[in-house]
Amino acid sequence: MLVSGLESEGPEAVRRNLIAEIRRAFAVEVVLMVELAEREARATVIAAEPPEAERKGSIALDELSAVSDLVDGRLVPLQLTGEGSLQLGRLLADIKACSSLLVPMRSRDMPGHVLVLLSGAEREFGPEEVELAGAFAAAAAAGLDQLRLAEEHAGRTARQVELVRAGRIVNESLDLTRVLVRICVEAAGFLAGDCACVWLGDGVEGIRLEALYGFPPELVGTRLRPGEGLAGRVAASGEGMFTNDYAELTRSPVGFSDIEGELGVPMHWDGELRGVLAVGNRQAHQPLTHEQLELLEGFADLAAAACRNASAHAGLAHQARTDSLTGCVNHAALHDALGRELARCERTGHDLSLVLLDLDGFKAVNEEHGHLVGDEVLRRVGHALRATMRPYDTVARYGGDEFAVLAYGVDEAAAGEVAHRSLGSVGRAVDALEERSGEVGATAGVAEWRPGETPTELIARADRALLYGKQRDGRGTAVYASAIPEAFRAGRFERRRRQDEAAGASE
C-alpha cells in the first residue's frame, strides 16, 4: 500500500492511504496526521480521514499539552482519556473524542509528525494495537523520509541545471554593464530572491554598487566601506555568508533597510577579489540556508568568468580606439564619436564644437633632439589636454602633431575659451621639458557645428581656421572659423604644412 503511494502520487498519497488503513484497522471515528513545527511551536493537521474532519490552520502547541510532551522528547505512543482526550478532539477535529492514541512518527529521532487516533467511545488501546499503530507510523515515517530525500535530490538537480543555464546566459555578452545586470537578474531568479546587486571593489578600498535588480536605480554608485553591511563584510573577509535578520547588522547601508535576509559571496577573477554578489529577500520566506549559499558561490564563479571575459574585451576595445603614445583616442575613434554626436545633435538641437590644435616648432624638436624627445613632447601634450578637458569631452590625436577636442554642449565662443585653456596647458607641459628647441607651442582652429553639416565639413572648417592662424594671425593663437574672411584660401600653405608634418612628426 505504502509502496504504491510512493511510486505513484507522492507524499499526499502516502498520507491518505496510511490514515485510511489505520482507520479501518482500528475502527475509530477519525485519524489525523499532524505536522509539528517546533521552531514556531505550532501544529497543523495535514491529512484526515474522513477528509471533512481536517481542520484548517495551525494550533499553538501550548494548547496541545499531549502533543507538546512528544515534542519535548517522549518518543513513545501516548493514550488519553477523559478531559484530555475531549480537549484534543475539539481542537484538532471538532469532535467528541472519549479516547485518543498519539503515535509519534520518528524521523532522525525527532517527532516531526504525529498520528492521532480519535475514538468516540471510551476504550483502551491494547499492547498489540499500540504496537501495530507504531508499525504503521514507522513505515509511514520511512516512506515520507524516502520521498523527502528524493525530492531534495530532484531539487538539487533542478537547481544545478538552473545554475548551468544562468551561467550560460551571463556569458553570452561581452558588454560588462550588460553582463553585470544579467548576473543580478539570474541570481535573483534561481534563488527566488526579491533583489540582487553586484558590488565591485576589494576589501581594502571598499566596494561600489555597479548593477542591481529589484532596487531603485539611483542606488547605483553607493559605496560601502570594508565591513559595512553584509556585502562589506564579505569583501573584508573574502568569504561567503548569509543572514536571516539583516536588521541586526550594526552597520547596514542606507537604502537597504527593508531587506529581511541576504546572501553574499565574493567574486574573484585574475587571482584577486574583484567584487561581491548579493541576493536578498524583503519578506520572511523560508529561512536562507547554507545550501543556497553554496549555490550562489557556484554561480558567482561562473559570473566572475563572464566579468573577466567582458573586462578583457573592454580592454581590447579600449586599446583599439586609443593612441598608445598619448593616451588620447585615435583618428578612427574621433570620427566614430563625431558621427554619433552629430546625429544626436540633429535630434536634440544641442550645441557641439570642434577644436583642432597643431603644435608649433615641433619639427625643430625632432631635428635637434630626435624622435624620442619628440615622442615625449607628444605624450605630455596629450596628457595636458586630457587633464584640461571635462571628463565627457573627447580628446584625440588627430594625426602627427595635430590634436582634436570635441566639446559637447558648447557654442563657438565657449569652445574658444576651451581652446585658449588648451593652448596654455600645452605650453606649460612643453616648458617643463628640458630637451626642446626654441619655442614649442600650439595654434588652434575652432568651429561650431551647423545643422545639416557633415563631419567632414565640420573638420574642414576647423582645419581652415587652424591654417589661417598659422599663416595670418601668428602662431599660438585660437582662431574662430566664423571670423575667417571668405576670400582666404589655404591652398599652397596647406600643402606645405602637410609636407612638413609628414617629414618631421613622430607617429
* Beta-bridge mates of residue 186: none
DSSP annotation of 494 reads H
Strands 441-448 and 478-480: parallel
- At 397, list the grid cell: 590625436
Q: Are 281 and 261 in contact (CB under 8 A)?
A: yes
What pLDDT is stored for residue 417 in this prediction? 92
- At 66, list the grid cell: 499531549
- pTM of the predicted model, to two decimals? 0.47
Task: For residue 321, give the 3-state DSSP assignment.
Answer: coil
Give CATH for domain 331-504: 3.30.70.270
Rounded distance between C-alpha atoms, residue 56 and residue 45, angstroms: 7
Would 2-151 and 176-319 be classified into the same CATH topology? yes
Question: Of 73, 301, 13, 318, which Cα lies nearest the Cα of 174?
Answer: 318
Strands lying side by side in the sheet with 58-60: 58-60, 42-49, 30-37, 110-119, 99-107, 78-81
Question: Of 453, 492, 207, which Cα lies nearest the Cα of 354?
Answer: 453
What pLDDT is stored for residue 163 in this prediction? 72
* Beta-bridge mates of residue 102: 78, 116
Fold that domain 176-319 belongs to in CATH? Beta-Lactamase (3.30.450)
Q: Top-level CATH class of 2-151? A: alpha beta
The string over 198-217, giving b where at least 16 C-beta atoms fall within 10 Å of a residue's C-beta and e elsewhere, is bbbbbbeebbebbbbbebee
Domain ranges of the chain: 2-151, 176-319, 331-504
The tens place of each residue's pLDDT in the chain, 507 residues long, gives: 444 444 445 677 778 888 898 899 999 999 999 888 777 778 888 889 998 887 777 888 878 876 766 655 556 788 999 999 999 998 888 899 999 999 888 765 445 788 999 999 999 999 999 998 888 888 778 777 777 777 777 767 767 777 777 777 777 777 888 899 999 999 998 888 999 999 999 999 899 999 999 999 889 889 899 999 999 999 999 999 999 988 887 666 777 888 999 999 999 988 899 999 999 998 766 789 998 999 899 889 889 988 888 888 766 666 778 888 998 999 988 998 999 899 989 988 899 999 999 998 888 888 788 888 888 989 999 999 999 888 888 999 998 899 999 999 999 999 999 999 988 888 888 887 766 555 678 899 999 999 999 999 999 999 999 999 888 756 678 999 998 888 887 654 454 445 444 444 444
**Tell me, what amino acid is at 333?**
A
Q: Are 224 and 236 in contact (CB under 8 A)?
A: no
Q: Is the peptide bond before 104 cis (omega within 30 degrees of 0)?
A: no
Rounded distance between C-alpha atoms, residue 194 and residue 184, angstroms: 11
What pLDDT is stored for residue 506 in this prediction? 43
Question: Of 105, 99, 47, 97, which Cα lies nearest the Cα of 71?
Answer: 105
What pLDDT is stored for residue 6 in this prediction? 46
Rounded distance between C-alpha atoms, residue 241 and residue 327, angstroms: 42
What pLDDT is stored for residue 414 in this prediction? 93
What pLDDT is stored for residue 10 in this prediction? 64
134: exposed, middle or buried (Cβ count in 10 Å: 0-12, 13-18, 19+)? middle
Question: Of 308, 287, 78, which Cα lies nearest the Cα of 180?
Answer: 308
DSSP annotation of 288 reads P
Rounded distance between C-alpha atoms, residue 76 and residue 101, angstroms: 11
What pLDDT is stored for residue 255 in this prediction? 78
Q: Are 267 and 275 in contact (CB under 8 A)?
A: yes
Question: Of 258, 379, 250, which Cα lies nearest the Cα of 322?
Answer: 379
Question: Of 300, 182, 167, which Cα lies nearest the Cα of 239?
Answer: 300
SS3 track for 133-171:
HHHHHHHHHHHHHHHHHHHHHHHHHHHHHHHHHHHHHHC
- Residue 191 phi, psi dihedral angles, 5° rounding: -105, 5
What pLDDT is stored for residue 296 in this prediction? 93
Rounded distance between C-alpha atoms, residue 44 and residue 116, angstroms: 12
